Structure 1
């Protein structure tokens, strides 16, 4: 199936292009369709001009050469399907085209043959089919072929064609060589501009992708990225262990800062807290902002509950450090709720009300879904509100993992009150 922006011609040509190339990036897809258009144009020109060369001009070797060239064009879609490579298929087509033109020049009179000027089309075609780098190589090959044919003709090594003076032969060689370089230069300019535009589009795409998963104010992961990373971390912990923990952090007295010092000061506090969180955790841990003054952490490789308690204390102390800005010193605290994963109470895929996964079906990611993550975040959120209600720094929600106790209310571990 051709891309939706394609016209009727591309819809037909898409039948000869592997699906993965159609779904590939803009550059690979574009080269694939250009190659098919090139084959179509070459086939039409061959069919139209072959009778003129064979029947009217009665040029020797034209019939076999036309047949061989037609076969090479037919083989190009086959090569494209087998190799899944536009580069290989384009090189095959360009090689056959150049070989046919050089053989005809060699056998039909050198620079005076009708095929000689057509050599100038090879570099331009190569630039379009192979890009700047591949086109530069083919330009060098084509110019070399033009010069070799011209020199061989001047030395009398080729069969005699229409009578031309030495000056005319030299002028023809120089003209065709210049035309070859000129056309390749124009194609190079067009292709370079196209590649520059595509690179710019790619950079913009990466920027938009980054913005779609990053919080605009702090640069931290947003809720969408946190959810996806939590799904992946849950799967890793479920399969390989050890377990992980999700921290839900809510700032205390943040509204007071906004009311007293303004939203600019509040934004500065959020950015500073984000930096402190990143400095406190490991580089492999993920820090995100869920919204407002709420943050979340995903910690993998948790060996014990004590590790989580120690980290929660470090985070609390880091956040409680004074924040200077705008000529004032601001103070905030944090209430932290922690929940562990994997958590069978939250694992939506384990519920008996859901249909069983068929035997042999892929479970790389399907058993842990967004609903499971939502329930886990609700547990961490509930633990955070418990800490806030009890005026504690943190509250750890620990699920009982014993199968005999499954379905009971999860026990909650309460740390000692903050000093």
Structure 2
């Protein structure tokens, strides 16, 4: 690695830190979205005011290319799929099939509750009408993100989907062809060649394309992106719904002496490959394993394609090895950390995994690495980061559904409860609330 040849260590053996102390001492990097809001606000404002022209101007500035139109022509989607490597097409097909299988089981059904005779409350589940799905285009190409965003939205019944991804100078101002091919495989025919904060703003406010065609605004924006995309989502929240403010990717591995250090090192490296800010954390009861993982990381870095990026991530403050006295202590640590991805590589890993309370997704045992979940497990890889797994879930069918209560009471059912409504209204000093019930059964006072 560039700075040193081993991950920094935090030794918690023999101590009993509080939850607050754990959160303070554990490796954690992250990004300060507030620090770039003042840079992103003018971009959002300009796209709001000038629409597609502004979005294309920013694309020309940041991506060094200006497509003729925002919307990618349909024949380009078809061509991208026709030219897709057969092995990649087959792999995407498997990923789509398995992800659909899992997410189709997440569909919600309406429920009707009879509170009293003549009084019911029905919870209806209605999909968001139109959703914008952001697919990054920075250090890597992410057709898997197309799958992970589109499939749950389709399973939820979202009627209108638009995928947006940065234009690539290498491909004549179109998003990467593998992104286009994945959209075509999933039946998404609306793809925009816009990236960054300007993409989020254009999704939120809509506009008119250069050819005069409408670019309809969406009701919700989902998908990960860099700090500028995240800032734009924060700024536009309220105009549109968002899934989350995603930060750099994370992996935590809870392991004991039974874990294979080569596997652990490979999994730490796999997530560090994403970004120099990616976090890779090993929580272990075994110093022998920690030493062996350090050695394995050094060995594997010699053959890792993105070794400089990986080394920077692994040597950063967001990564490290946490030594604990027991698996029970390790569980306290990983719950306090609340990783986006958590692997359990211990004795009786399944039982240990069932005790975890805070994680975006949990990968059990030596044969369920995080990279399986990134592509072909069937689970979703759009997950909460930066400790947000303590209170939030990953992307799912539920993300795209709204629960609406439908209240249906008869005259007798309302009359039976009317005095309680009036009492509570008066207790809150909102007497007109009570009057709205009373007038249904009595004449208005003079």
TM-score normalised by the chain length of structure 1: 0.19
Q: More helix per residue: 1 or 2?
A: 1
Task: Point out which structure has higher relative CO (alpha carbons under 8 A, 6+ apart).
Answer: 2
Indicate the structure with greater strand content: 2
The TM-score normalised by the length of structure 2 is 0.18
